[in-house]
Structures are given as structure tokens and as C-alpha cells.
Amino acid sequence: MPCELCAPSAFPELYRDDRLTVVLVTSEPDYPGFCRVIWHDHVREMTDLSPSDRAHLMDWVWRVEAALRTELSPDKINLASLGNVVPHLHWHVIARFAGDAHFPAPIWAARQRDGHVPPTDGLVRRLRRHLTA
């Protein structure tokens, strides 16, 4: 099966350079502030990257975290690089709110309630502006 993260993402692109792409994951209605930072090369683990590539990838994880904090004022940021299903390096950067569907559990745990999160009008535009400023 071809790797789905080697193909261009179907999600709105927030930033792209020669090494990585940042997208807004728009397939999770419970989590409108869910970004993914995808490394372009098909690499499995962070310790398979060179130190400078690793620093570049994490620099963009921090930039995305900062953008989400500024734009959405979440109660917590969740960061994860799992890749058990798709072993191609990518980071989940997720704005979490005390009233969201799983809080305080991870979003992969059992759903706890119908979630409520703040309005996210124009979020693609706002995050793009923040990340390319």
C-alpha cells in the first residue's frame, strides 16, 4: 500500500517549505484546532533524522503551537508523534479545551461528552497569516 503521507495532503495547507508541510486537519469536527506537521521524506523515527532536520521539524511544531495558542487560547496543547498506522514522521498539534469531547483524556481515548469548543471562524486564514508572518 502506498504511504498516504508521501502523497500531497487533502487538508488546507498552512505552510510549506522544502522539508515539511503544515496542514489544518479538517476531518475532526470535535477538534477544529488540530494541525499536522508532516515531514516530506518517508522517515520513520525522529532519531532517524539529522540533528538539523530534527531541529527544523520541531521549530515548526513550536510555531504551530504558538499560532494555535494565539488564535484559540486553548486550555492545553497536546503534541504527539505516533505513526503506528502510517510510519512516516508527522506531528499532531492539537488545541484542547476543558469542554471538548474527550477532555482531560487524550483524543484517542473514549469519548466523554458532546464537545464544545470556541468558534473558529476564518481559522485557516488566521493560522496561515500567523505562520507566514
User: Residue numbers of the site for its own copies (CB under 8 A)?
Assistant: 44-47, 54-55, 58, 61-62, 65-66, 69, 75-85, 87, 96, 103-106, 108-110
**In the complex, minimum distance from the CB of residue 66 to its own copies, in angstroms, rounded to a whole number:** 5
**In the complex, minimum distance from the CB of residue 99 to its own copies, in angstroms, rounded to a whole number:** 12
Please identify, using beta-carbon distances, which residue of 106 and 122 lies nearer to its own copies: 106
**In the complex, minimum distance from the CB of residue 69 to its own copies, in angstroms, rounded to a whole number:** 7
Please identify, using beta-carbon distances, which residue of 47 and 132 lies nearer to its own copies: 47
Edge to edge, what strands does the sheet with 90-96 contain?
13-16, 20-24, 34-39, 90-96
**Could you give the dihedral angle defined by the CA atoms of residues 83, 89, 95 and 96, in that order, rounded to the nearest 10 degrees?**
20
Please identify, using beta-carbon distances, which residue of 29 and 108 lies nearer to its own copies: 108
Please identify, using beta-carbon distances, which residue of 8 and 106 lies nearer to its own copies: 106
Q: Which of 24, 21, 1 is nearest to 12 (CA)?
A: 24
**In the complex, minimum distance from the CB of residue 38 to its own copies, in angstroms, rounded to a whole number:** 15
Q: Which of 32, 29, 56 is nearest to 114 (CA)?
A: 29
Q: Which residue has the cell 503544515?
A: 22
Q: Which residue has the cell 485557516?
A: 124
